[in-house]
């Protein structure tokens, strides 16, 4: 008998067809309260994204594998899944380059005021030659501080060092020797990174250790001319502290793809600040990359249910059992 898989995010047709060759699919509207938990009770696995899967939702289920269509896995209680013997798979690598492009577009847009000035033109304010009131700041040759130099951080460092001749500083639990060799990246303490960088870019996953990693004290350490870039997870930054720092001129601006609450409250002061570029969590959102992520997640799930998955596993401890 084919295993039953809950699908809680729309999949490209060819990916759904591939899954159907291996499993019976149960489509669920994750927006319906209780629907996902109810479906999980009769399933062997699930695939989807952007929805919290709590331990309670798995009680009484026989689920063996969960596959998230994302690299981030902060929607799951990983130790609990491991205790239950449930494999959790994710989609690193396939989204690295498009997510690094988003980070770099935030750097460029914030520095050169692209969104603000495009709106200014559309509003009919361009009546003569522009002057210092419309000038931005250079990106090339500046210092980029990357907090967390993993796969995506490494792709950002490559763009910065090789494309824009930037100096790259970074923090990471372990040295990233490839980035040091190829991009001249220098590993420093967070305080030094904050004090020396023109752009501070967060590339850490959201964990208990990184929640509000950047708060009032850290923002205070940054240069007044610095720009904070966040395309990781909103809660790595204390958003209230960021709003206060931007209002007080403690830092110059911010480029944000992620927020503590998504979608962001339309009344958020961040949305009224011309020096803030705000995007709707588009990190990996290109047609090509989202398709590759869905395919990768589907293959992960099929292999996990067959007991053959040995890549892209978040909780490898489960495989050792």
| CB 249, min distance to ligand DGY, A | 30
| Nearest CB to ligand DGY, comparing residues 45 and 72 | 72
Order of all β-strands in the sheet with 65-68: 24-27, 4-7, 45-48, 65-68, 87-89
Is 292 a binding residue for ligand DGY by CB under 6 A? The answer is no
Is 153 a binding residue for ligand DGY by CB under 6 A? The answer is no
- Distance from C-alpha of 46 to C-alpha of 76, rounded to nearest angstrom: 13
- Give the single-character DSSP code of 321: -
| CB 245, min distance to ligand DGY, A | 24
Q: From residue 291, give the alpha-carbon distance in Å to each of 153, 299, 316.
A: 22, 12, 25
| Nearest CB to ligand DGY, comparing residues 253 and 283 | 283
Active-site residue, selected from the candidate residues 177, 262, 288, 316: 262
User: Which of 284, 289, 300, 315 touches ligand DGY (CB under 6 A)?
Assistant: 284
Residue 84's nearest CA partner among 109, 117, 59 is: 59
- Distance from C-alpha of 193 to C-alpha of 144, rounded to nearest angstrom: 9
DSSP, residue by residue, 174-194: S--HHHHHHH--EE--HHHHH
Interface region with ligand DGY, contact rule CB under 6 A, candidates 31-39, 68-76, 120-128, 303-311: 68-76
**Could you count the other beta carbons within 10 Å of the beta carbon of residue 88?**
23
Interface region with ligand DGY, contact rule CB under 6 A, candidates 69-77, 185-193, 214-222, 261-269: 69-77
DSSP, residue by residue, 43-99: -SEEEE-SS-B-HHHHTT----EEEESSS--TTB-HHHHHHHT-EEE---STTHHHH
**Burial track 174-183 (b if 16+ CB lie within 10 A, e otherwise):** eebeebbeeb
Is 61 a binding residue for ligand DGY by CB under 6 A? The answer is no
Q: How many CA atoms lie within 13 A of 111 on its CB side?
A: 19
| Nearest CB to ligand DGY, comparing residues 72 and 150 | 72
- In the three-class reduction of DSSP (H, G, I as helix; E, B as strand; rest coil), residue 199 is classed as strand
| CB 297, min distance to ligand DGY, A | 10
- The yes-or-no answer on residue 299 being catalytic is no
Our CA angle for 303, 309, 313, nearest 5°, is 120
Stated as kind and residue range, the H or E segment containing 168 is strand 167-171
Residues binding ligand DGY: number (CB under 6 A): 6
| CB 70, min distance to ligand DGY, A | 3
Is 45 a binding residue for ligand DGY by CB under 6 A? The answer is no
| Nearest CB to ligand DGY, comparing residues 48 and 72 | 72
- The yes-or-no answer on residue 281 being catalytic is yes
Active-site residue, selected from the candidate residues 158, 159, 281, 295: 281
Is 283 a binding residue for ligand DGY by CB under 6 A? The answer is yes
- Distance from C-alpha of 27 to C-alpha of 266, rounded to nearest angstrom: 31
Stretch 70-109: interaction string toward ligand DGY, x if CB under 6 A? xxx----------------------x--------------
Active-site residue, selected from the candidate residues 90, 113, 159, 233: 233
- The yes-or-no answer on residue 125 being catalytic is no
Mind telling me the catalytic residues?
Answer: 233, 262, 281
Q: Residues in the site for ligand DGY, rule: CB under 6 A?
A: 70-72, 95, 283-284
């Amino acid at each position: 008998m084919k295993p039953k898989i809950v699908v809680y995010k729309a999949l490209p047709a060819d990916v759904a067809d591939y899954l159907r060759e291996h499993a019976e699919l149960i489509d669920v509207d994750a927006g319906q309260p209780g629907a996902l938990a109810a479906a999980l009770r009769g399933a062997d696995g699930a695939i989807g994204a952007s929805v919290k899967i709590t331990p309670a939702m798995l009680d009484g289920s026989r689920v063996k594998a969960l596959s998230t269509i994302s690299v981030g896995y902060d929607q799951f209680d990983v130790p609990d899944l491991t205790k239950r013997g449930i494999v959790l798979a994710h989609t690193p690598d396939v989204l690295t380059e498009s997510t690094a492009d988003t980070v770099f577009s935030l750097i460029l847009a914030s520095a050169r005021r692209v969104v603000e000035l495009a709106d200014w033109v559309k509003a009919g304010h361009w009546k003569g030659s522009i002057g210092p009131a419309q000038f931005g700041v250079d990106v090339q040759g500046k210092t980029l501080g990357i907090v967390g130099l993993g796969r995506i951080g490494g792709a950002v460092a490559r763009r910065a060092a090789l494309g824009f001749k930037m100096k790259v500083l970074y923090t990471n639990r372990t040295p990233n020797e490839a980035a040091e060799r190829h991009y001249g990246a220098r590993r420093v303490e967070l305080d030094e990174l904050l004090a020396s960088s023109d752009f501070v870019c967060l590339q850490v996953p959201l964990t208990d250790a990184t929640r509000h990693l950047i708060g009032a004290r850290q923002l205070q350490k940054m240069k007044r001319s610095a720009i904070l870039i966040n395309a990781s997870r909103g809660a790595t930054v204390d958003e209230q502290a960021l709003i206060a720092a931007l209002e007080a001129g403690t830092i110059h601006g911010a480029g944000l793809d992620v927020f503590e609450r998504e979608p962001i409250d339309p009344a958020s002061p961040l949305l009224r600040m011309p020096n803030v570029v705000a995007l709707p969590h588009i990190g990996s959102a290109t047609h090509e990359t989202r398709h590759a992520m869905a395919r990768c997640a589907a293959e992960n799930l099929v292999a996990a249910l067959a007991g053959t998955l040995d890549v892209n596993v978040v909780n490898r401890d489960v495989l050792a059992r």
